[in-house]
Amino acid sequence: MPSPAFSMTWTPDGPTSFIVHSYRTHRIGLDEMCGRLIFGTGEVLKLIAHADAVEEAGGNAPLLTGYEDHPAVQRLLGPVWTPIREVLDTTPALPPLADFAAADRAIQDCGRHVAAMWASLDVTGHLTRTTSCTSQ
């Protein structure tokens, strides 16, 4: 039985797949879909980061450990959060100035996992002066 923490509700501001579906069925435009994907992904990652930190502070296993079999963790959250967590686990919270650029680059490199998650929903994107994305 899935944990209530990972239950999905199908609302206009709901899961990523619903946002993409809303675009494909012409309920929202491309710009709105992209904005919701970017904002929603960031918010979910912040939520996981905070909850994961609470688990760690309490001496517990990482947050997603007990949910490895959940489809949302397998397909979306795990492939994105696991590499981020690995970087955070091996990088000081405030790296020395000489190491800051490398630590920043390591976190930024995790963005490819976000792009892969979006690609699993048939959404691709590229960075420009204004962020843009496309859906098939």
Q: Please give the model's pTM, rounded to 2 decimal places.
A: 0.72
Token pair of 69, please? Answer: 């079999």
Distance CA 73, CA 117 (A): 11
Which CA distances in Å does 26 have to 17, 30, 46, 106? Answer: 14, 9, 29, 37
Higher confidence at residue 116 or residue 124? 116
Distance CA 68, CA 102 (A): 30
The pLDDT, as a whole number, for residue 37 is 87
87: Cα separation from own chain's centroid:
15
